[in-house]
Amino acid sequence: MKNLLLFALLSVGLLAFGCGDDDLTPSPEKREISLGAIVALDGPISYFGTTAKAAIELAVEDINQELGTEVQLNPILIRNSYGVPDSALSAIEALNADGLNVIIGPQSSGEVARVRSYADAHDIVVISPASIARSQSIAGDNVFRFSPDDTYQAEAMVAMVVDDKLDALITVHRDDTWGHDLVGLVMKQYNDQGGNVYDSLSYDPTSSDFSTLLEELETEVEQAVAQYGAEKVGVYLLSYGEAEEMFSEATDRPVLSRVKWYGGAPTAQSPRLLENSKAATFALATTYPCSTLALEESLRSKWQPLQERIAAATGQVADIYAFVTYDAVQIAVRSWLAASSNDITSFKEKLTETAASYTGMTGPIILNDAGDRATGNYDFWAIKNTGNGLEWERVAFYHSTTKMLTRD
């Protein structure tokens, strides 16, 4: 087994702050930990990368203050993943060559799918803060995911659509692991509740021309509106930063702004949508509530100071997965300190225990048999016209245990 004196942080886009309740008292023989970081500093989720970089640095700062002189986190090696699966594989190979075999990240499910076999074959533990595709819930592998799989997010979105009293839903998604999985769940659950679903439209994530896609969507929307009426039709879009360009182009197709639109976590609170006036205006006109894993109000005293520190460092509002990533760093360090020996088997044994007992920014992380966070609640965010102009506001909350949707 490789020595666990080195950790890698492979996070395609996020991180956040806060020391937890748990003691970080090290054993005398353990002296230093090296963290590597891979974040999406470029590409369609680069806004996640900005907050990730800040949060990683804050996490290391906080941990070093608590550790004192007996254990020290070394300076972080940051690599850019671009949010691309092949780049994530190259990154994990490079980190492995550097002797790093505990990796926090990657961010997306497509990347997790790409690195899984390599991680298993090379005794590397992968802790992803934000991969949610249910197809990646695999028991017995070396991948741990600190966000719930997309089953609950699909439930939350269907609850919103049903509460809006829609009769028909048209879906558009990235042609990737995350897009296929989540759209499939939403379509099935909505259909099971009596809703009418259209064949989903997919697009190449590397494309920058959405004219053909929008023409196809325009045709489906026109057909649905003719049958059900505009107020009874919705469009569910699963995209990353591509939504900005899509919305800008969609403003020239009036029928598309006659129906409600819905989105997922990568566009919730996106600063890029706000910065593009045409895209933001389209989102406002179509309501466009976006679902994302929720921060718990009861833990505000923990996560709000971190939120403020990240905002001061980046000028951006930290997304939820930044806080999850921060927790992952804290849990990884605590698991290593608690392990009886410096090998992967011992580390994995302590990881599940530590995640469940550590109360960080996002609360205790109870892992299921597949090594995924077992449950979570969801916020919905939408662009609203406030006294300060267009801003993101929370508009609803979904409780996954009670199955209740509450409007703000």
Q: Quick one: tokens of 227?
A: 């049958």
pLDDT tens string, the chain, 408 residues long: the values are 555 545 555 543 333 333 445 556 555 554 577 666 777 888 887 888 888 888 888 988 898 898 876 776 665 667 788 989 999 999 999 998 888 888 888 888 999 999 999 999 999 899 999 999 999 999 999 999 999 999 999 999 999 999 999 999 999 999 999 999 999 999 999 999 999 999 899 999 998 899 999 999 999 999 999 999 999 999 999 999 999 999 999 999 999 999 999 999 999 999 999 999 999 999 999 999 999 999 999 999 999 999 999 999 999 999 999 999 899 998 988 888 888 767 888 889 999 999 999 999 999 999 999 999 999 999 999 999 998 899 999 999 999 999 999 999
Looking at residue 185, what is its pLDDT?
Answer: 97
pTM for the model stands at 0.90
pLDDT at 25: 55
Instruction: Supply the DSSP symbol for 130.
Output: S
Secondary structure (3-state) at 139: coil
CB 358 within 8 A of CB 327: yes
Going by C-alpha positions, the residue among 37, 61, 36, 39 that lies closest to residue 50 is 39
**Measured distance CA(278)–CA(319) in Å, rounded:** 23
Q: Does residue 129 have a cis peptide bond before it, meaning omega lies within 30 degrees of 0?
A: no
**Cβ atoms < 10 Å from Cβ of 389:** 9
User: What's the pLDDT at 22?
Assistant: 55
pLDDT for 78: 75
User: Looking at residue 7, what is its pLDDT?
Assistant: 52
* Residue 187 near residue 197, CB atoms below 8 Å: yes
pLDDT at site 176: 95
Closest CA to 298 of 364, 392, 350, 370: 364
Residue 353 to residue 165: CA distance in whole angstroms = 43
Answer yes or no: are the C-beta atoms of 48 and 324 closer than 8 Å: no
For residues 67 and 263, what is the distance between their CA atoms, to the nearest angstrom?
41
- Is 255 exposed, middle or buried (CB count within 10 Å of its CB: 0-12, 13-18, 19+)? middle
Per-residue exposure over 170-192, b if at least 16 CB sit within 10 Å of its own CB, e if not = bbbbbebbbbbbbbbbbbebbee
Token pair, residue 102, equals: 């505990």
Sign of CA dihedral 140, 116, 243, 382: positive
Distance between CA atoms of residues 130 and 358, nearest Å: 18
Q: Under 8 Å CB-to-CB from 209, ≥6 apart: which residues?
A: none
- Other Cβ atoms within 10 Å of 212 Cβ, number: 11
pLDDT of residue 357: 96
- Complete domains list, the chain, with CATH: 6-149+298-373 (3.40.50.2300), 151-294+378-407 (3.40.50.2300)
How does 281-313 read in b/e, with b if 16+ C-beta sit within 10 Å? Answer: bbbbbbbbbbbbbbbeeebeebbeebbebbeeb
Task: Report the distance separating Cα 356 and Cα 344, nearest Å.
Answer: 19
Residue carrying the six token digits 């600190």: 146
